[in-house]
Structure 1
């Protein structure tokens, strides 16, 4: 079982995961708001360079070098939802407020990735996309360690049957929405829970991401899921669904030498 640890930085709490012990990393809480990734990187590693994106709920994964060629003119940020390192001491960051922050490290190459996996990014397989890019850089599946941070839990995440089917199609290729949803319900440890409202279900997005990774051949021992729900932990985490405010918490990881 992977363990999660609370750290204290100048009286402010953030989380780390034993699975990513090789890397300086953190799933930061709302108490750090509105500090930027540049400031947060200094908490993890004062010599690392910070990289962030303008997140758009897609599945594009960029390297720091590619950021420069994909800038959005308005705010000087690249439009994407994943970052992967290409050199040591690169801190890659994603923001979330119910969506799943995913941090990945490769124990052999030292390279890392940070992904923003909301339901749309999950439906578009952002985690498998990132893993494929890491493999293209020389990573082996068995060397990857993946931690999914605090996100909205399945028991409180109500979505339409159509949305559930769109997410489910990422692991169950089928044209028929009802068949996808029924097949999801029938899975062991199903990512779907029933909802009393007609046309609605509850979905565990982190479980869907886990199933996507297991379909690639990644073992359960390589994956850790934070035991925290953003919606149900208001003391520590912003939740867009709870507050309807455009506030975020940051998650980041630093590549090693």
Structure 2
């Protein structure tokens, strides 16, 4: 059984997961909102190189070497050059690289490879999940030599399924990643989703609406890749319901978020 632990830094709380104990990592709370990833990395591993992206709800996953190219391209088109490249996932290529994503109700996913020491950080909202961004990040890790049995995956605090109301069309679009049904066939897709074990689809009293557990969809995507449930941990925390620790866009409509990050290590013998 994987456990989640509250840690503190200067009396401020953040979460870690036992599944990722081999890596410096943290799912930070709203109390750290004013601190950028470069400062949060100092808490985890002060000498690590820090990488983040401009999140756009897609399925692009970048490596640091690609980011440098993207940053140079931005510099040529934009003299300010302040904005990081657009993507929703990062993988490392060397030891001592820290990768970060931010989220409010979307799912922050941190991945570690126990053999290579490499890691990934992914921002998986419903749009990214519909585009299978977590499997995309894993495919990128595999292209660098990762094997599925060596991966450890932790999904941090996000809005719980029972609180996340979406349209039936959105649910069908996300669910189409799991079942062999066209997302346009909404009724057929919803029926198939309801039949899944521990279905990610929950009833909603409002016509044309359902509740969707995005973290469960990601877990099922991982199962379909051949990753065992023992390799996956899901935080028992809902951003919508825990107003003391987490921002929730659904709850407050504020454009604020909390950061989640992980640092790569050297290759294991």
1:213 to 214, 217, 222: 222
For 1:254 and 1:85, the matched residues in 2 are separated by 8
Distance 2:253 2:8 in 1: 28
Q: Following TM superposition, by how much is the alpha carbon of 1:124 offset from its aligned partner in structure 2, in angstroms?
A: 0.2
Map of 1:15 onto structure 2 = 15
2:164 is matched with which residue? 157
How much has 1:70 moved relative to structure 2?
Answer: 2.0
Give the RMSD, CA atoms, in angstroms. 0.8
CA distance in 2, matches of 1:208, 1:47: 36
Q: For residue 102 of structure 1, give the secondary structure of its aligned residue in structure 2.
A: strand
Aligned equivalents of 2:24, 2:37: Cα separation in 1: 14
The C-alpha deviation readout for 1:161-208, integer Å capped at 9, x for no partner, is 000001001111312221111110111100000000000000000000
Looking at structure 1, the residues matched to 37 and 24 of structure 2 have their Cα atoms a distance apart, in angstroms, of 14
1:125 aligns with 2:159: no
- Distance apart, 1:61 and its partner CA: 0.3
The equivalent position to 1:106 in structure 2, one of 76, 89, 113, is 113
Name structure 2 gaps, 5 residues minimum.
none
The match for 1:231 among 232, 240, 246 is 240
Distance 2:39 2:65 in 1: 21
What is the Cα deviation at residue 49 of structure 1? Answer: 1.0
CA offsets per residue over residues 80-135 of structure 1, 9 Å max, x none?
00000000000000000000000000000000000000000000000000111111
Residue 173 (structure 2) pairs with residue 166 (structure 1): yes
* Cross-structure match for 1:92: 99
Corresponding residue pairs, total: 257
- TM-score, normalised by the number of residues in structure 1: 0.99
For 2:2, the equivalent position in structure 1 comes to: 2
Q: TM-score, normalised by structure 2?
A: 0.94
1:145 aligns with one of 132, 148, 152 = 152
Distance between the aligned counterparts of 1:212 and 1:70, measured in 2?
Answer: 29
